[in-house]
């Protein structure tokens, strides 16, 4: 039979077409099954999480034992927002913290504004030299604000600035954030929980990033949660819900988390120094740090935990134009590929336990193969069906894994959000997001995959630039 099939050109073409479709469908199905498992784990994690009290109760319970934290806020050319951001950080509700703003060689008046607004003076500071970074030009502080230290350094990028902050910090824990994001006032009290519950095991914990576009901001605080009107921003709200509420909560429950967002993560300083801090020369420095931590602990056969906590929230502004969003997505893709290639020996390596099997399996399936196979499917499956080389069930199966199950996962994430967290104040907002969860599959999803292919191309050409992220600034009430 096989000899007959291969000798018959039309049968050979059908067999080839079916093989291509089968690869695309199986890869898509594997992704969906993986996400489905993550959703179940996320549901279990949220359903069994420790009680989540109000801020006042948290303070009463944790304030005596909460370990000191250094909040590291790298800033580059942020003179318009830096004063308000720093004020908002200084107003965080946490018993013992310092804010270290790292001016990463800004070309605008970022440093001058900080000095003028907070009455800072140049001081000296005895700092560590454990991790590498560009030259520090000076330190600025004020006796009136003992919690604030401004570090002025030569430009070296975000990873370099964070390394400088790590060297300057004097606490066991540091929290890496983006200076232009907004931490909720009780975010530190909430994200520190695993470090209090399991102080000997926890080495890192990440919190949720939410999109602030459309929300009202007053004095560096979110005062009114609203949905944006911009379609791209709305789609990203659904994407972030999937990424944080489903993927990261699920992977955290599995103890297979491979990334803690650079916009909000709490780390044990000692372990980060052991892995050499943030890596230079990569655009995925946040992911790489977590992978390096896993590698260190696994190779030294030490027990550890890297957690994801859903309740603490950091608000960030997302891109709302195609060009900026495209650049961001291509950069994220490039970062994931760089990390994957750099640590490829961890893939399916039993030495690295569930990180090698589950964490790296996830990266391979979703970040490495995902965009390639999905775009291949968009081009070939409908074409082969139109040419009569594929029967209708093949096309339906492709549509099932790319569209229908995608819609199912997005809606199921919204259901999980509504049951467990209820962070959208109005029912109407949830309904709007449900519509977006369906609509995004027709057009946006394909475009997103093209951006990721662009990231693949940039990675193949070893392109290193970050691109420009144009921010409009939060709307104020």
Residues facing residue 123 across a β-bridge: 139
- The side-by-side arrangement of strands in the sheet containing 173-177 is 121-123, 136-142, 145-153, 97-104, 69-75, 173-177, 264-268, 202-211, 305-316, 182-183
| Residue in 30, 34, 67, 361 binding another protein, rule: CB under 8 A | 67
Identify which of residues 344 and 426 has a Cβ nearer to another protein in the complex.
426
Q: What is the CA radius of gyration of the chain?
A: 24
Q: Shortest approach of another protein to residue 165 CB, angstroms?
A: 15
Rule CB under 8 A: say whether 396 interacts with another protein: yes
Could you say whether residue 200 binds another protein (CB under 8 A)? yes
DSSP 159-184: HHHHHHHHHH--SSEEEEE-TTSEE-
Give SS3 for 300.
coil
Q: How far is the CB of 263 from another protein (least distance, A)?
A: 26
Tell me the per-residue interface mask from 148 to 187 with another protein, x by CB under 8 A, - otherwise. Answer: ----------------------x-----------------
């080389």: which residue's tokens? 389
Task: Kindly state the smallest distance separating residue 295's Cβ from another protein, in Å.
Answer: 22
Angle between helices 231-240 and 427-439 (to 10 degrees): 90
Among 71, 246, 272, 414, binds another protein (CB under 8 A): 414
Taking the C-alpha atoms of residue 167 and residue 9, their distance in angstroms, rounded to an integer, is 67
Q: Which helix (H) or strand (E) element contains residue 43?
A: helix 9-47
144 interacts with another protein by CB under 8 A: no
Q: Does 397 bind another protein (CB under 8 A)?
A: yes
Q: Is 52 one of the binding residues for another protein (CB under 8 A)?
A: yes
405 binds another protein (CB under 8 A): yes
Out of 123, 322, 387, 460, the only residue in the binding site for another protein (CB under 8 A) is 123
Residue in this structure with the two tokens 């789609």, named with its chain if needed: 235
Q: How many CB atoms lie within 10 A of CB 165?
A: 28
Q: Is 432 in the site for another protein (CB under 8 A)?
A: no
Q: 282 is written with which tokens? A: 């990569």
Select 130 or 475, whichever has its Cβ closest to another protein. Answer: 130
Taking the C-alpha atoms of residue 124 and residue 141, their distance in angstroms, rounded to an integer, is 9
Interface with another protein, residue 147, by CB under 8 A: no
Q: How far is the CB of 456 from another protein (least distance, A)?
A: 27
Residues that bind another protein (CB under 8 A): 25, 29, 50-54, 56-57, 60-62, 64-65, 67, 123-130, 141, 143, 170, 195-201, 391, 393-394, 396-397, 399-401, 404-405, 407-408, 411-412, 414-415, 418-419, 427, 430-431, 434
């Amino acid at each position: 039979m096989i000899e007959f099939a291969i000798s018959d050109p039309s049968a050979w073409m059908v067999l080839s077409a079916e093989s291509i479709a089968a690869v695309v469908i199986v890869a898509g199905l594997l992704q969906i099954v993986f996400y489905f498992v993550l959703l179940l784990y996320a549901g279990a994690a949220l359903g069994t999480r420790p009680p989540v009290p109000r801020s006042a109760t948290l303070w009463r319970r944790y304030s005596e034992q909460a370990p000191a934290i250094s909040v590291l806020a790298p800033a580059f050319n942020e003179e318009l927002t830096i004063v308000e951001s720093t004020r908002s950080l200084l107003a965080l509700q946490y018993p013992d913290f310092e804010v270290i703003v790292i001016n990463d060689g800004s070309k605008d008046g970022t440093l001058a504004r900080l000095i003028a607004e907070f009455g800072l003076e140049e001081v000296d500071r005895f700092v560590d030299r454990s991790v590498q970074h560009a030259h520090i030009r000076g330190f600025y502080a004020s006796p009136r604000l003992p919690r604030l230290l401004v570090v002025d350094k030569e430009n070296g990028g975000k990873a370099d600035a964070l390394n400088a902050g790590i060297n300057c910090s004097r606490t066991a824990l540091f929290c890496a954030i983006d200076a232009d994001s907004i931490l909720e006032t009780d975010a530190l009290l909430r994200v520190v929980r695993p470090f209090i519950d399991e102080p000997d095991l926890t080495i890192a914990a990440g919190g949720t990033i939410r999109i602030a576009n459309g929300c009202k901001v007053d004095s560096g605080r979110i005062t009114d949660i609203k949905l944006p009107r911009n379609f791209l921003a709305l789609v990203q709200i659904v994407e972030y819900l999937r990424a944080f509420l489903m993927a990261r909560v699920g992977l955290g429950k599995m103890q297979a988390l491979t990334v803690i967002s650079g916009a909000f993560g709490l780390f044990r300083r000692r372990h980060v120094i052991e892995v050499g801090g943030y890596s230079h020369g990569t655009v995925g420095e946040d992911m790489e740090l977590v992978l390096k931590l896993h590698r260190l602990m696994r190779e030294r056969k030490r027990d550890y935990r890297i957690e994801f906590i859903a309740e603490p929230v950091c608000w960030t502004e997302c891109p709302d134009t195609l060009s900026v969003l495209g650049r961001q997505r291509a950069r994220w893709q490039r970062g994931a590929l760089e990390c994957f290639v750099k640590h490829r020996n961890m893939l399916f390596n039993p030495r690295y336990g569930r990180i090698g099997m589950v964490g790296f399996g996830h990266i391979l399936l979703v970040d490495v193969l995902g965009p390639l196979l999905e775009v291949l499917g968009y081009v070939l499956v409908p074409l082969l069906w139109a040419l009569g080389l594929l029967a209708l069930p093949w096309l339906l199966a492709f549509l099932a894994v790319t569209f229908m199950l995608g819609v199912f996962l997005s809606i199921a994430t919204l259901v999980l959000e509504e049951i467990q967290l209820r962070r959208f104040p109005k029912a109407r907002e949830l309904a709007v997001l449900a519509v977006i969860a369906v609509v995004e599959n027709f057009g946006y999803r394909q475009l997103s995959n093209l951006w990721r292919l662009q990231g693949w191309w940039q990675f193949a050409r070893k392109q290193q630039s970050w691109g420009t992220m144009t921010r409009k600034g939060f709307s104020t009430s």
